[in-house]
Amino acid sequence: MSDPTPAIIPVLLVGGAGTRLWPVSRKAFPKQFAPLLGAQSLFQASALRLSGTHFDAPIVTTNGDFRFIVTEQLAEIDIAPQAVLIEPSARNTAPAILAAALHAAATDPDALMLVAPSDHVVPDTEAFGASIAAGVPAARAGQIVTFGIAPTRAETGYGWLELDGPPGDGPTPLRRFVEKPDASAAAAMLAEGRYLWNAGIFLFTARTMIDAFRAHAPDFLPPVEAALKGATTDLGFLRLDPKAWSRLPDLSIDYAVMEKAPNLSVVRFSGHWSDLGGWDAVWREQLPAGAAGGSVTDPRSTAIDCTNVLLRSEADGVEVVGIGLEDTMVVATGDAVLVAPMSRAQEVRRAVAALKDKGARQAEAFLRDHRPWGWFETLVLGERFQVKRIVVHPGASLSLQSHMHRAEHWIVVSGTARVTVGEQVTLMAENQSIYVPLGALHRLENPGRVPMVLIEVQTGAYLGEDDIIRYEDAYARG
């Protein structure tokens, strides 16, 4: 990639529930944070792809529930964001992108910005960088540059881009956006040669994007400007003003601006790309290079006489075995199992809707619950008792709190815990335990340099997570 000066500001959009990748992706911890294709999450891979000498520190837009997951995962890959904008409520991509553009314009109205979803797979970083570089002159000249993917199949799960002519090596004028087509329309576009998949990635200057909103979606400007003006700083996050934000419509950037703007150009990216929009996409990504089909398993799965299957287990101790299956996906976690034909991968979201209708916790929540200090998971839940495993990061602490309906027993499994119960502070090592009576003020801390693991046994009439009264909290939670 040639040297763009000044550096491009990546804008990482971190939201959504990723329901088509249920049960691994859920509202509480969606697909961009999961290590679906290796040790790194999709979000981490996206941040690394848009880092280095050609890029400035990223701006991240997300919601309050994900703020600590975002910073924790960025810290793991040594990336410090220049801003994390907290959206008070989900309003789709148009308000988020405008907020990022206004934030950048406050420092430099001509700042180059690259907006990208945080859940895409682009293994060829060098080729991707070359495509970005090809779009930089047009973006500096006032174009909004979008990136189209050279199609390899008649895909019905993506939107498409129609170009004015055959795509070349540089920016080509965009004729129109095409909604997700049916199979016959997708086949015709694939054969035509003037169509690319819409990757939802945009390059522009802050000034250009603000002017586009002013011309095509002016109603967005006053509430987003007010949300930024009324924003508050919270532990390094920038919380946008909720009252102003609530006045915004729920609209994508495509509908609000892109489909109306005359200054759009498309750069073709011919390298490998996937939005990992379903388990069929995960299956394709894990097939051997050049293979058109086959069985994909993980170390906890076994395929016997199977053809074109995905067998995957996310839970230690849960083995998935398929016998004589064809064109089938089986995905298991500790609390849910998905079984479906590969051809119906796009319908997995229907399972989430059905589970929500019946009130099943598995629709949106996991057994493992992530917190800014670490995580916990429920091991056993019965009438009037619950057993949890709690893992606290080095140097982290839970809030000073009390419960109205439950008592707790704590047993340290590994590491060191500093425990406050009432006025007493105790340093506890492995195999030591302590009792926290109902109503007692208490706090759990990890003063060590390794994660601290603890088993918690709760007893009481009510064991819900909302039975917490916080008195002090390092993470400014209510």
Nearest one of 81, 142, 89, 147 to 114, comparing CA atoms: 147
pLDDT score recorded for residue 345: 94
Query: Is residue 240 classed as helix, strand or coil in its secondary structure?
Result: coil
Q: What's 399's DSSP letter? A: P
Cα 396 versus chain centre, distance? 24
pLDDT band at 82 (very low <50, low <70, confident <90, very high): very high
Q: What are the tens digits of pLDDT across the range 235-267?
A: 889 999 999 999 999 999 999 999 999 999 999
pLDDT score recorded for residue 367: 87
Mean pLDDT, rounded, for 159-165: 91
Q: Are residues 352 and 380 in the same domain?
A: no
pLDDT score recorded for residue 6: 64
Domain assignment of residue 28, given as a range: 9-269
pLDDT score recorded for residue 234: 83
Whether 4 has a pLDDT exceeding 50, the answer reads: no
pLDDT score recorded for residue 398: 96
pLDDT score recorded for residue 292: 77
Q: Are residues 189 and 300 in the same domain?
A: no
Mean pLDDT, rounded, for 270-282: 92
Q: CATH number of the domain at 395, please.
A: 2.60.120.10
Whether 279 has a pLDDT exceeding 70, the answer reads: yes
Whether 427 has a pLDDT exceeding 90, the answer reads: yes
pLDDT score recorded for residue 162: 93
Read off the tokens for 74: 């960025």
Q: What angle do CA 310, 314, 315 make, to 5 degrees?
A: 135
Q: Are residues 108 and 220 in the same domain?
A: yes
* CB atoms inside a 10 Å sphere around CB 104: 25
Determine, yes or no, domain membership for 278: no
* Helix runs in 141-220, H state only: 183-192, 206-216
Considering only residues 384 and 4, tell me which one the structure prediction assigns the higher pLDDT. Answer: 384
Whether 173 has a pLDDT exceeding 70, the answer reads: yes
Nearest one of 49, 342, 67, 66 to 58, comparing CA atoms: 49
| Angstrom distance (rounded) from CA 258 to CA 203 | 12
User: Model-level pTM?
Assistant: 0.89
Determine, yes or no, domain membership for 171: yes
Determine, yes or no, domain membership for 277: no
pLDDT score recorded for residue 18: 84
* CB atoms inside a 10 Å sphere around CB 9: 25
pLDDT score recorded for residue 2: 46
| Angstrom distance (rounded) from CA 452 to CA 415 | 4
Q: Are residues 264 and 314 in the same domain?
A: no
pLDDT band at 5 (very low <50, low <70, confident <90, very high): low
Determine, yes or no, domain membership for 47: yes
pLDDT band at 476 (very low <50, low <70, confident <90, very high): confident
Q: Are residues 431 and 310 in the same domain?
A: no
Q: Are residues 295 and 261 in the same domain?
A: no
Q: Are residues 451 and 408 in the same domain?
A: yes
385-392/374-382 β-pairing: antiparallel
Q: What are the tens digits of pLDDT across the range 100-146?
A: 999 999 999 999 999 999 999 999 999 999 999 999 999 999 999 99
Whether 478 has a pLDDT exceeding 70, the answer reads: no
Read off the tokens for 33: 């944070």
Q: Are residues 446 and 391 in the same domain?
A: yes
Determine, yes or no, domain membership for 478: no
Report the number of distinct structural domains present in the chain: 3
* CB atoms inside a 10 Å sphere around CB 8: 22
Q: CATH number of the domain at 203, please.
A: 3.90.550.10
pLDDT score recorded for residue 301: 97
Q: Are residues 404 and 378 in the same domain?
A: yes
Q: Are residues 112 and 261 in the same domain?
A: yes
| Angstrom distance (rounded) from CA 282 to CA 103 | 35
Q: What are the tens digits of pLDDT across the range 306-330?
A: 999 999 999 999 999 999 999 999 9
* End-of-domain residue from the set 309, 332, 357: 357
Distances (CA, A) of 214 to 3, 160, 176, 211, 219: 31, 26, 21, 5, 8
CB 434 within 8 A of CB 426: yes
Q: Are residues 262 and 304 in the same domain?
A: no
Mean pLDDT, rounded, for 274-287: 93
* End-of-domain residue from the set 204, 235, 269: 269
Q: Are residues 418 and 391 in the same domain?
A: yes
Distances (CA, A) of 88 to 176, 178, 246, 296, 393: 32, 31, 8, 40, 27
Nearest one of 118, 129, 141, 132 to 205, comparing CA atoms: 141
Residue 331 parent element (H or E):
strand 326-332
Determine, yes or no, domain membership for 280: no
* End-of-domain residue from the set 357, 381, 401: 357
Determine, yes or no, domain membership for 442: yes
Largest Cα–Cα distance of the chain, in whole Å?
A: 75
CB 200 within 8 A of CB 117: yes
* Total H helices, total E strands in the chain: 11, 27
Determine, yes or no, domain membership for 399: yes
